[in-house]
Amino acid sequence: GAGVSQSPSNKVTEKGKDVELRCDPISGHTALYWYRQSLGQGLEFLIYFQGNSAPDKSGLPSDRFSAERTGGSVSTLTIQRTQQEDSAVYLCASSQLGTGELFFGEGSRLTVL
């Protein structure tokens, strides 16, 4: 597709379960970002992939969170043993190296009961 695609758009899970969120960036974009947005709040940086460089994981809130990017394209954010405070919208964005502009997906809304 032409834009950043995220799935699922909505996920309801029980506390303690694992979830996987997927991001399909714009073709050719070398950089991929994950952010988290709680209700009515700003964006909290989670992790950043740039080309073949080691990802910047400095924003991951705990070791329950991990992400990978396969083949420099699709990325999966995994949250293990989900907690209620993990409930938020998880936003993925991609960009071309050097342009600065981020293109965002519509987000995955996670609700942990």
Q: Phi and psi of 40, rounded to 5°?
A: 70, 10
Residue closer to other proteins by CB (options 39, 81) is: 39
Give the one residue of 7, 13, 22, 56 binding other proteins; rule: CB under 8 A.
56
Give the one residue of 29, 105, 110, 112 binding other proteins; rule: CB under 8 A.
105
46 φψ region: left (φ > 0), alpha (ψ -120 to 50), beta (else): alpha
Give the one residue of 12, 16, 41, 61 binding other proteins; rule: CB under 8 A.
41
Contact (CB, 8 A) for 78 and 67: yes
The neighbour count for residue 12, using CB atoms within 10 Å, is 12
Give the binding range for other proteins (CB under 8 A) out of 14-22, 64-72, 73-81, 98-106: 98-106
SS3 19: strand
Q: Does 100 engage in binding with other proteins (CB under 8 A)?
A: yes
Q: Does 1 engage in binding with other proteins (CB under 8 A)?
A: no
Q: Does 91 engage in binding with other proteins (CB under 8 A)?
A: yes
Identify which of 66, 64, 61 has the alpha carbon closest to the alpha carbon of residue 76. 66
- The residues that touch other proteins, with contacts defined as CB under 8 A, are 4, 33, 35, 41-43, 45, 48, 50, 53, 56, 59, 91, 93, 100-107
